[in-house]
Amino acid sequence: SEIPLKKLKEGLLSVTSTEGKDAISVDDKGGDSTVSITVVGASGDLAKKKIFPALFALFYEDCLPEHFTVFGYARSKMTDEELRTMVSKTLTCRIDKRENCSEKMDQFLKRCFYHSGQYDSKEHFTELDKKLKEHEGGRVSNRLFYLSIPPNIFVDAVRCASSSASSTNGWTRVIVEKPFGRDSESSAALTRNLKEYLEEDQIFRIDHYLGKELVENLSVLRFSNLIFEPLWSRQYIRNVQLIFSEDFGTEGRGGYFDHYGIIRDIMQNHLLQILALFAMETPVSLDAEDIRNEKVKVLRSMKPLQLEDVVIGQYKSHARGGISYPGYTDDKTVPKDSLTPTFAAAALFIDNARWDGVPFLMKAGKALNTKRAEIRVQFRHVPGNLYNRSFGTDLDRATNELVIRVQPDEAIYLKINNKVPGLGMRLDRSNLNLHYAARYSKEIPDAYERLLLDAIEGERRLFIRSDELDAAWALFSPALKELEEKKIIPEYYPYGSRGPVGAHYLAARYNVRWG
Ligand code: NDP
Ligand code: BG6
């Protein structure tokens, strides 16, 4: 009953020089089976903002099986029609703005239904099961549950869904949203509890950064271009920077955020996942287990984060251009004396032959001056640089830098030193630039589209395995505990600024300047 992994077999492995050709095409439409996707927590923010729009985009792209149904499940009382009205407000035709997709939208909405129920009620999930069966019409039933609910009710929902609404003749899979615990112990407990009701291969732990186009491209860049891999080590790379910054605060999510903070919200998952893909050894194959084995190996080769290698900050209110921007603790759901970091910078190290001594610097912050997510690779200086000696230029500082701009305005560019055209000999820094918007006319899919499609296809490559999760928490839990026990006071920075100056001192300690 599994849909073949066409994406891997035909899409990913086919190299085409023609832009715009579809990488994904599901022509095996599932035959006599159905896929029922239940969005648990359908009334919530993530469901509206990301999940339903991603499902619609997949439908629009003809990537969903012929027989599929989407069910919203939550406590709120809603009719099918009310769900459709709610969902229709966030669907967009972003895939192809020229085409009128309202017809497709109507077709999609007709496949959406709603069931109201409690998350801890087997009886309510049994009612859902009955409705799902009616829609499945006796076909082989495959069921995907997307847990888009607060983490404290994950286990209840899984217990009830697995016992009352699992498929009896096809597969049942559950997508779990982060946070996966707040430290090693709580994460292990969550895994243990989920595994009381599910096998590991039924659990799809989502880290939506893995679904981002440029993060997926990292392995292609490394392993299918001869020029990068030989340079990918301590021998040529001086430092690697993983930067996440948002130009808005925790608006509306303060209650959640205060319990987690930026290290758990961004570093332990999104940035660390990028780091693992960046630094791993060549996997045996593109199979999910081979890739995840290599990621775990890198994570397990890392030293746990040391307190002296972390700087934390928290944004405070700031008035600019007549507008007053609120501080983190101005949020009513955040305690006035909260020490939760909204910014952090950290230096991490991988203790293996390839990366020994290379600082991997992470920086993540909310309410900063820019919105961006980037990987910056700074290379070593050219030994005995001829142009330094002959022209007294300071090329030691102008070393090569490879930038992978994950978002916005996706790009990969390499900073090189170049002769300024003319009779003299003047050098400057220029970019060899792969700018996605200029090179590819097709809209980049949202991360959730890729991940939902993978979950439907049973492709686990971009989901987090439990041993990966354990290794990731082992790196951050001790420092997090120390920060909280010692009540370390964050460095305050104004909303919209570049963040605490302490981040620069941390980088300088390792002879690094942030890009
Ligand atoms: P919401 O807070 O919007 O909750 C989703 C739904 O869960 C609500 O509509 C509500 O539905 C139900 N719910 C909320 N609180 C409770 C409660 N205390 N007890 C029982 N039910 C409750 O969450 P989001 O949609 O923002 O996020 C869902 C999940 O995704 C969370 O785990 C979150 O951490 C994660 N996530 C969210 C992101 C985002 O951008 N929003 C980004 C990344 C991850 P009802 O009352 O109708 O039952
Ligand atoms: C989520 C975090 O995982 O990622 C949010 O919980 C953050 O705090 C978001 O805003 C960023 O995602 P994106 O895709 O908008 O960069």
21-25, 68-72, 436-440: least confidently modelled range: 21-25
- Spatial distance between the Cα atoms of 225 and 400, rounded to a whole number of angstroms: 18
| Pairing mode, strands 112-116 and 140-147 | unpaired
pLDDT at 1 over 80: no
- Which token pair is 224? 């299918």
Averaged pLDDT, 232-246: 98
- In the prediction, which pLDDT does 387 show? 81
Measured torsion, CA atoms of residues 50, 52, 55, 57, in degrees rounded to the nearest 10? -70
- Taking the CA of residue 75 as reference, the ligand 1 atom at the shortest distance is 48
| Residue 383, pLDDT score | 87
Residues 354-395 pLDDT 10s = 999 999 999 999 999 999 999 999 999 988 888 876 665 565
> Closest ligand 2 atom to the C-alpha of 244?
16
Measured in angstroms, how far is the CA atom of residue 14 from the centroid of ligand 1? Answer: 39
**What angle (nearest 5°) sits at the alpha carbon of residue 388, between those of residues 383 and 393?**
140
3-class DSSP assignment, residue 25: coil
pLDDT surpassing 60 at residue 14: no
Distance CA 173, CA 193 (A): 16
* Residue environment code for 293-315, b if the CB has 16+ CB neighbours within 10 A, otherwise e: bbbbbbbbbbeebeeebbbbbbb
Q: Which residues of 218-242 are buried (b: 16+ CB within 10 A; e: fewer)?
A: bbebbeeeeeeeeebeeeebbbbbb
pTM to 2 decimal places: 0.93
Looking at this predicted complex, what is its ipTM? 0.97
Tell me, using a 6 A CB cutoff, whether residue 309 lines ligand 2. Answer: no
The contacts of residue 182 (CB under 8 Å, 6+ apart) are 259, 260, 264, 480
The closest-lying atom of ligand 2 relative to the alpha carbon of residue 269 is 3
CA of 265 to the centre of ligand 2 (A): 8
Give distance in angstroms: CA of 91 to centre of ligand 2.
Answer: 19
Average the pLDDT over 343-350 and give the result. Answer: 98
Given a contact cutoff of 8 angstroms between Cβ atoms, the answer to whether 457 and 467 are in contact is no
Name every protein residue with a CB atom under 6 angstroms from any ligand 1 atom: 41, 43-47, 74-76, 119, 148-151, 153, 177-179, 256
